[in-house]
Amino acid sequence: MKVYKFGGASVAHADNILNVCNIIALEKEPLIVVISALGKTTNAIEKIIHEADTDKAVKMWDELCDEHKTIAKKLNAEEHSIVYLDEYQSEGREIIYDYSRRNSDEFYDQLISKGELMSTTIVVATLIERGLSSKWLDARKMFRSDERFRSANIQWRETEASVQDMINDHVQRYNVMVTQGFIASTRDGRTTTLGREGSDYSAAIISYCINAESMTVWKDVDGVLTGDPRIFPNATLISQLSYEEAIEMTYYGAQVIHPKTIQPIQRKEIPLNVKSFIHPDRNGTIINAAGGLLYPPMIVVSNNQYLLEFSSKDFSFIAERHLSMLFRKFNHYRIRVNMMRNSAISFIVCVSAEKERLELLKEEMAYDFEIEETTNLQLVTVRHYNQSTIDFLTKGKTVLFEETHDITYQMVLK
């Protein structure tokens, strides 16, 4: 079996959804399709969550649900979807009314997951309308996770068994099985999510569990390029990448694939295609176990970075006990450490995190440390770097921090 994954951009409008259905219809073998929320729906739900304790929230929610219904109508897919869309809408309202009683990360997951539930409902209804034998599968019944809401960890053994059971139950009767990316559930049935942009990872989990023949992620770019084309319009396609190289690129933040995607499929040596949903006939990028490939310089840019410099208030040198205290808190507040350096009297880290979590960390650490913060920085990573690429990237910028190891060059730029 093959696994396809379509992200938000590929299902943003009715026309795009038809395009996705055409791509699906071309596949003759049984197919498992993983789909994200439509367009920017997840961002829109985040805004609603932000307003959850105001009168506006329910109105915003109703508007979002109406937009989904309008798309279903345009696709003639109302008949097979309206009951479910109405149900998600009223469940969403209940969740918003209930907000004050809930732990907020758990609340977030209960509401944000509706995006994927609605999008997959519309896509399946459209496929059925066009005569394709398709089945909607509930990802929450297949993906078992722990209770770390908003960035849940998959419980692999239970997930493998339930994915296999669910697929085996339906594969004889349906050509296409469609499920949600991004969402899972705890053992007691509470919805969790795997972290923003996590649908690629969901597709990798399914691929791993069923030993898929291949996995394809359909994107708005031709494949993996030497850099983000929105920043580097001259970026070129890399037609083949090894798993190792893809892991490194995505770990450093290349947005085109979620960083957790590659390892499960590497373990089973499942080829991963990155292809364009705009030009599905093009070859795209293939990621597999290939060795001995030569790569051009590949650039990854991550914005919204912070440099934090900690020095101890009691004038002691920075020692292991300080570092262990800091790292426990980085973990607690889910702050990602991207680069670091310690000297006798200070410890400097380049981190990325939600602003609120960073403020909490600083507040808590202020008793023991003087903290200096520089905000709004860019972390630039170049794999297979050469001097001309570094010169090009640093032109007119201040390099605050830099490091090389082997073929990787990293710098923090202002």
> Measured from the CB of residue 353, what is the shortest distance to ligand ASP in angstroms?
17
Least Å distance, CB 185 to ligand ASP, is 16
Interaction site with ligand ASP (CB under 6 A): 7-8, 36-37, 42, 115, 181-182, 196-199
Contacted by 229, from ligand ASP, ligand ADP, Mg ion, none: CB < 5 to 8 Å by type? ligand ADP
Q: Does 91 bind ligand ADP (CB under 6 A)?
A: no
Q: Burial-class residue 232 by CB neighbours within 10 Å (0-12, 13-18, 19+).
A: middle
Judged by CB under 6 A, the residue of 221, 326, 335, 411 near ligand ADP is 221
Using rule CB under 6 A, residue 278 touches ligand ADP: no
Q: Which tokens in the block code for residue 191?
A: 């919805």
With CB under 5 to 8 Å by kind, the binding choice for 227 among ligand ADP, Mg ion, ligand ASP, none is ligand ADP
42/302 with CB nearer ligand ASP: 42
The distance of closest approach from Cβ of residue 12 to ligand ASP in the complex, given in angstroms and rounded to an integer, is 11
Which residue lies nearer to ligand ADP by CB, 138 or 228? 228
Residue 42 interaction partner, one of Mg ion, ligand ADP, ligand ASP, none, beta carbon < 5-8 Å per kind: ligand ASP
The DSSP bridge partners found for residue 403 are: 410
CB of 386 to ligand ADP, least distance (A): 17
Binding residues for Mg ion restricted to 191-210, rule: CB under 5 A: 197
Is residue 7 part of the contact set for Mg ion (CB under 5 A)?
Answer: yes
- Which residues in 270-288 are b (16+ Cβ under 10 Å) and which e? bbbbbbbbeeeeeebbbbb
Cβ-contact 137, 177 below 8 angstroms: yes
Residue 260 interacts with ligand ADP (CB under 6 A): yes or no: no
Query: Residue 196 binds what, of ligand ASP, Mg ion, ligand ADP, none (CB under 5 to 8 Å, by partner type)?
Result: ligand ASP
- From the CB of 365, what's the least distance to ligand ADP, in Å? 33
Residues 25-44 that bind ligand ADP (CB under 6 A): 36
SS3 for the chain, per residue? CEEEEECHHHHCCHHHHHHHHHHHHCCCCCEEEEECCCCCHHHHHHHHHHCCCCCHHHHHHHHHHHHHHHHHHHCCCCCCCHHHHHHHHHHHHHHHHCHHHCCHHHHHHHHHCHHHHHHHHHHHHHHHHCCCCEEEECHHHHCEECCCCCCCCECHHHHHHHHHHHHHHHCCCCCEEEEECCEEECCCCCEEECCCCCHHHHHHHHHHHCCCCEEEEEECCCCCECCCCCCCCCCCECCEEEHHHHHHHHHCCCCCCCCCCHHHHHHCCCCEEEEECCCCCCCCEEEECCCCCCCCCEEEEEEEEEEEEEEECCCCCCCHHHHHHHHHHHHHCCCEEEEEEECCCCEEEEEECCHHHHHHHHHHHCCCEEEEEEEEEEEEEEECCCHHHHHHHHCCCCEEEEEEECCEEEEEEC
Confirm if 346 and 370 have CB atoms less than 8 A apart: no
Tokens 């496929």 belong to which residue? 127
Residue whose CB is less far from Mg ion, 52 or 217: 217
Given the complex with ligand ADP, which of 73 and 230 has the nearer CB atom?
230
- Closest chain position to Mg ion (CB): 197
Nearest approach in angstroms of CB 300 to ligand ASP is 18
Verify binding: residue 295, ligand ADP, rule CB under 6 A. no
Please give the Cα distance from 241 to 247 (Å, whole number).
10
Q: Does 198 bind ligand ADP (CB under 6 A)?
A: no
Of the candidate residues 4, 8, 16, 154, the single one contacting ligand ADP (CB under 6 A): 8
Which residue stretch of 142-150, 222-230, 264-272, 289-297 sits at the interface with ligand ADP (rule: CB under 6 A)? 222-230
296 binds ligand ADP (CB under 6 A): no
Kindly indicate which of the ranges 3-11, 141-149, 215-223, 231-239 contains the residues binding Mg ion, using the contact rule CB under 5 A: 3-11
Cβ nearer to ligand ADP, comparing 43 with 375: 43
Site residues (CB under 6 A) for ligand ADP, limited to 96-155: none
**Residues within the interface to Mg ion (CB under 5 A):** 7, 197
**Residues within the interface to ligand ADP (CB under 6 A):** 7-9, 36, 197, 219-221, 224-225, 227-230, 254-256
